[in-house]
Structure 1
Amino acid sequence: MADINLMCQRIYCLCEMGMLPFEPLPSSVARSPVDISLAAAIVISSEFLLRDIKIRTGLLSVSGELYAQSKGEVNVYSYRQPDLIKPILDEFTAKTGIKVNFLYADKGLEERIRIEGDNSPADVLLSTDVYALENLENVGLSDEVTDKKLLARVPENMRDPDGHWLALTKRARVLYISKERVKKSDINSYLDLAAPRFKGKICMRPGSHLYNLGLFSAMNAHYGKAKTEEWLKGLRANLARKPAGNDRAQAKAVMEGLCDIALGNSYYYGLMTYNEKEPEQKKWAAAVEPVFPSGEFGTHMNISGFALVRTAPNKANALKLLEFLLSDKAQQDYADLNYEFPAVPGVKYGKKVSVLFPQKFKEDILNPIDVARGVPDALKTVNRLEFDN
């Protein structure tokens, strides 16, 4: 029975990777890994199973290794939505002939890789922030990238010291200021957010959200916990309303006159500016101007990144994908597609990012890994201060 369950779990992984067809499961079917795997196996016809698995994986029997190394494929688990990475992956396939099998999820990919164990098909984890990459390393499921040429493409503060992950793009935690009511010269650093002159003029999403916890963690690293806590008290006192909504909701609040200054990630400004599906968001973007704090340590940064899975069955192809993603053209295209900034120094901004953010700005050089490790302490402070209440 154990062998059957293992086989079924492998089959289910192939189905989700798009390498085997399957029908949607009824809502009544239990969703435990074994139940899902068995149900997925049941809906695959035995005729197809025996014929197509042999064709696609070169197996002699279904009890063999389903994830043997394939010279022409690489399996990517991704937190980046398909439409925001697929064009880049398609370019990689066109250039190298290596097929990319893509699996997207908005959570739980590290746990999935852990459960799959040595039989996981995952070669690569693509993350939209440093936290998932750090999690993968902490549970011993990432492998070191040792190629010196690849490591040299990314600054030391934008990669794991041991090569367990590397940044692909960067994003900034900026200030959305009202074009009508605030001058850029009025605010120069995050510390200014606690200034008495801005009482009742600031909006933000909950302080317990990772985007803000990352900033608070960076503040702890630069100023110490005592000064950061006093700053948080001042920031809370300056809020125009209880922290709520997402980053885009803060830009809308500025447009509506509920506040004059808001915290938001830089790429949301692009998502609003070029939003054709919800064009009303263009008005939100038009009402604000993104300010990159230059005082003290500069602008807080986060990353999207790449991690090599320790059990990768197609490790050579995974490294070829990394090499491609760190090339100048892919860096420019990938960053522009997501309204982010290239991680490789010297790469010019794409057309959209150049228009959105023409100014140069001072980046915080703190390694995102240090930010991630300081998040638990930042959360404790937020909770103790009842910041979001």
Structure 2
Amino acid sequence: MLLSGGILLINTGCSLSSLTRQAESEDSRQVVNVFTTRHYYVDSMLFQEFTKRTGIHVNEVKGTAEELVERMKKEGEASSADILLTVDGGALEFAKQQDVLQKIKTETLLRNVPMEWRDKEHYWFGIATRARVIVYAKDRVRMEELSTYEDLTNERWKGKVLVRSSSSLYNQSLLASFIELHGEQQAEKWAQGIVRNFAREPEGGDKSQAKAIVAKVGDVAIMNTYYIGQMLNSNDPEEREIAEKLGVFFPNQLTTGTHVNISGIGLAKNAPNKENAIKFAEFLTSKEGQTLLVQGSFEFPVNPESTMPTLLKDWQNFKRQPIDVASLRRLHNNATEIFENVGWQ
């Protein structure tokens, strides 16, 4: 059958009125639009479980924190963003400062997320934490040889240290934490020492550093814990084999503690689906949501009621830096300048 304009309508047993009702149904279905910087497979599983429980479909928009925040600012009241989901406390604080978030405070969220892992003014809530540690070759390095981040600048580690580039938010927050704890002069001295001991110029992500250790490019690397957890439980036998040859060491346990950062969520200032967004935030921080999250990502949960994999239980009792990770955002520019000064690309 031909309609005006020569468009062919194939008869599938549906009338025009039923097709119209179907389109209207799809347009009116419950949704939540998540602007996310994360790239983990477990997130898709979480979103599917949320949809299964609530009937609310999750639409993902991916990008860097800067890209997503800029888009939210540019679109203003017309923005489709309901939730901003990102890694790094500094990125969450940046979004707050750029006025793209609104306060979100429910009894459920306050119960799910301890005070230390949420914004004091309730503009964002943490969903998971991760520690930045020293990973080492079990066949070439004894655990007793390791102690602190500062010790990695020692002459004996010359040509043996692996780490990703200075553009990494993880490294920017790590260096910012040293500025906070020790001042810029000492932080720059540390960065100089690490550059001096590079096994190679920085390249790739944290998993690339792990692979380079096993390939004997270097002996130690600065990495986030969850990458080792993911590799040990990977479907890829090569990744499992690599991870089994590596040890994880939590530095500075007798001094300032190990650096910890967070992943978190904020409610978009102009969220068109605010109620759905709040339900989404409450699910991600619930016992069930947190258990599903950490079983797949191997980050540490923020909800103490969640069930952790054995590996995380073995790792969890460590001393962490006594600083507010979100506040480190104000020191990221200082950290970037230091990286440039010392030649950390």
- Evaluate the alpha carbon distance shift between residue 331 and residue 221 of structure 1 in structure 2; reply closer, same or farther with a 3 A threshold: same
CA distance in 2, matches of 1:81, 1:258: 27
Query: Where does residue 245 of structure 1 map in the other structure?
Result: 204
2:133 partner amino acid = V
1:272 partner amino acid = M
- Evaluate the alpha carbon distance shift between residue 376 and residue 48 of structure 1 in structure 2; reply closer, same or farther with a 3 A threshold: farther
Match for 1:324 among 283, 294, 304?
283
Query: Where does residue 159 of structure 1 map in the other structure?
Result: 118
- Evaluate the alpha carbon distance shift between residue 197 and residue 348 of structure 1 in structure 2; reply closer, same or farther with a 3 A threshold: same
Match for 2:194 among 216, 235, 246?
235
Q: Given the two structures, how large is their TM-score scaled by the length of structure 2? A: 0.85
Match for 2:60 among 75, 83, 103?
103
CA distance in 1, matches of 2:21, 2:98: 37
- Evaluate the alpha carbon distance shift between residue 113 and residue 50 of structure 1 in structure 2; reply closer, same or farther with a 3 A threshold: farther
Query: Where does residue 12 of structure 2 map in the other structure?
Result: none
Cα deviation, residue 85, structure 1:
1.4
1:172 partner amino acid = A
Q: Does 1:304 align with 2:263?
A: yes
Cα deviation 1:215-245 (Å, max 9, x = unaligned): 1001111111111112222222222222233
Q: Does 1:219 align with 2:178?
A: yes
Match for 2:318 among 354, 361, 370?
361
- Evaluate the alpha carbon distance shift between residue 55 and residue 221 of structure 1 in structure 2; reply closer, same or farther with a 3 A threshold: same
CA distance in 2, matches of 1:151, 1:373: 26
* Unpaired stretches in structure 2, ≥5 consecutive residues: 1-16
Query: Where does residue 49 of structure 2 map in the other structure?
Result: 91
Query: Where does residue 75 of structure 2 map in the other structure?
Result: 116
* Equivalent residues of 2:51, 2:58 under 8 A apart: no
Match for 1:138 among 80, 84, 97?
97
- Evaluate the alpha carbon distance shift between residue 81 and residue 196 of structure 1 in structure 2; reply closer, same or farther with a 3 A threshold: closer
Query: Where does residue 27 of structure 1 map in the other structure?
Result: none
CA distance in 1, matches of 2:309, 2:20: 48
CA distance in 1, matches of 2:21, 2:259: 54
2:102 partner amino acid = D
Cα deviation, residue 346, structure 1:
4.9
How many residue pairs get matched? 327
* Unpaired stretches in structure 1, ≥5 consecutive residues: 1-46, 59-69
- Evaluate the alpha carbon distance shift between residue 320 and residue 258 of structure 1 in structure 2; reply closer, same or farther with a 3 A threshold: same
2:296 partner amino acid = L
* Equivalent residues of 1:170, 1:342 under 8 A apart: yes
CA distance in 2, matches of 1:219, 1:359: 22
* Equivalent residues of 2:134, 2:221 under 8 A apart: yes
What is the percent sequence identity of the aligned residues?
A: 32
* Equivalent residues of 2:124, 2:265 under 8 A apart: yes
CA distance in 2, matches of 1:359, 1:131: 23
Cα deviation, residue 83, structure 1:
3.0
Query: Where does residue 375 of structure 1 map in the other structure?
Result: 332
Q: Identify which range, 174-183 or 107-116, moves more after superposition.
A: 107-116
Q: Does 1:170 align with 2:129?
A: yes
1:286 partner amino acid = E
CA distance in 1, matches of 2:90, 2:271: 21
Q: Does 1:386 align with 2:343?
A: yes
* Equivalent residues of 1:73, 1:314 under 8 A apart: yes
- Evaluate the alpha carbon distance shift between residue 219 and residue 358 of structure 1 in structure 2; reply closer, same or farther with a 3 A threshold: closer
- Evaluate the alpha carbon distance shift between residue 197 and residue 82 of structure 1 in structure 2; reply closer, same or farther with a 3 A threshold: closer
The within-5 A match list for 1:194-213 is: 194-213=153-172
Cα deviation, residue 54, structure 1:
4.1
**Greater RCO, CA 8 A, separation 6+:** 2
Match for 2:216 among 246, 257, 266?
257
CA distance in 2, matches of 1:333, 1:188: 33
